[in-house]
Amino acid sequence: LMASATVDKLSASSVSVSATPQMQCLQRPALAKPAYARVAPKLRAAPIAAVPRSTSVSTWTHGTEVADAVHAVRLASRLCQVVQKQLGASEKTDKNDDSPVTVADYAAQAVVAWALSRSPAACQGGRLSMVAEEDSVALKAPEGRAMLLRITDLINAVLVEEEGAVTLSPDDVIALIELGDSQGGANGRHWVLDPIDGTRGFVGMRQYSVCLGMLQDGEVLLGVLGCPNLPQGQVGDEDGHTGSADRLSGSDGIGALFLAHRGQGAYAVPLHGPKDLSDMQRVTVHDMTDMAGARFMESFESRHSDHSFTAAVAKEMGVTANPLRMDSQVKYGLLSRGEASIFMRFPPPSYKEKIWDHCAGFVIVEEAGGKVTDAGGNRLDFSKGRYLALDRGIIAAPPKVHAELMRAVEKVGATRKVQAAAGGGGGGGGGG
């Protein structure tokens, strides 16, 4: 398999990767303690002046973990950007649930596990506990060997400039991926990772995100979203379309990262900005009472959410704009910085939501002042293991909009139940 020119160039450099077969948490040099600015969201068309912030991330209870998470997500995002530009047919396959998986999904998971396992602050009890999407079963099969070797090359190329180390072997990569097999739960610390949320978008040259959250005793304490194809400023409907990555890639102002720490707010920075996050900006949701001006978001593909139901809810609310359809948790990021006011997701009733599809975005929206609940108004509970127990679907919005959204969901859902009982169809997301 041929690597891209970028990967070839990196591979030619001396590799300095720190890997441990047992994946123990290793000491790493102390990070600088930056002073951050607290500012309003930056829009591409009209940046807003900064507002001084009296605290820095070094004073946060889990400030070191935030810095570790940002570093891990940036490394994984860099890898994904290289792969998306030259993804070949032999570098992707379908899982048992018919969802795609690529070399980048596996490689990004291993990179994040590698970065976190080096940090004592990221681990408790000397071992990293991570709830992640991918497993290594297919890669350990004989027919998966070529893909495993490709993944190993990609990882070593991206880690070449990291301080300290040795080249990773295929066995090291398998061990890193398998660190994601934690079941999570209500006790202890668990990192929650979706290495590529929106793999269909990734393959379709659309939006995707690298999503990392941290659970402590069942509560989401921090989250980081890396969004390589997302404009740092205003987003148009076309920015979620198939092929949009070809247009956006390499342009100024493309690539956003969102982060949040429980009790300290939500922030946005350029994806590959300064290591000290000195350009960090505070973001907040945009609440409103006039729903005609609201912008609502939903999944790009209808297999992920009932578009007819969300359209009916939007109409009931008085929303007049067309939906902004995008893959992945980038929608949580856009909601947190006020570019949209509604996110709805109503998958088929048989679908079980995984915690990695919402963990990072959940805390970012909450810390930006928004609400994320199921359709019954229940706050999402990440303490039950790898899956969420939900009433129908997920809705997210600023508080005033959320209240109106709840009303509309119940009304449209009740109408559909009556229609279904009368034999008139209309089943779907709000019907049970």
| Binding residue positions | 133, 194, 196-197, 357
Residues β-bridged to residue 215: 190, 220
Q: For strand 281-283 and strand 296-298, is the pairing parallel, antiparallel, or unpaired?
A: unpaired
Among this protein's residues, is 105 annotated catalytic? Answer: yes
Cβ of 315: how many Cβ atoms within 10 Å? 12
- The closest alpha carbon to 77, from 119, 118, 36, 109, belongs to 109
Residue of 105, 153, 239, 306 marked active site: 105
Q: Under 8 Å CB-to-CB from 335, ≥6 apart: which residues?
A: 285, 297, 341, 342, 343, 365, 368, 370, 396, 397
What does the block give as tokens for 274? 């300064």
Q: Under 8 Å CB-to-CB from 72, ≥6 apart: which residues?
A: 111, 112, 115, 116, 212, 224
Residue of 64, 102, 152, 199 marked active site: 199
Q: For strand 296-298 and strand 324-325, is the pairing parallel, antiparallel, or unpaired?
A: parallel
| Binding residue positions for Mg(2+) | 133, 194, 196-197, 357
- The closest alpha carbon to 269, from 260, 282, 256, belongs to 256
| Euclidean distance between CA atoms 336 and 307, whole angstroms | 22
Please identify which residue in the block is written with the tokens 């891990």.
72
Q: For strand 130-132 and strand 209-216, is the pairing parallel, antiparallel, or unpaired?
A: unpaired
Calculate the alpha carbon distances from 6 to 79, 86, 247, 256 in Å: 10, 11, 19, 21
Catalytic residues: 105, 199
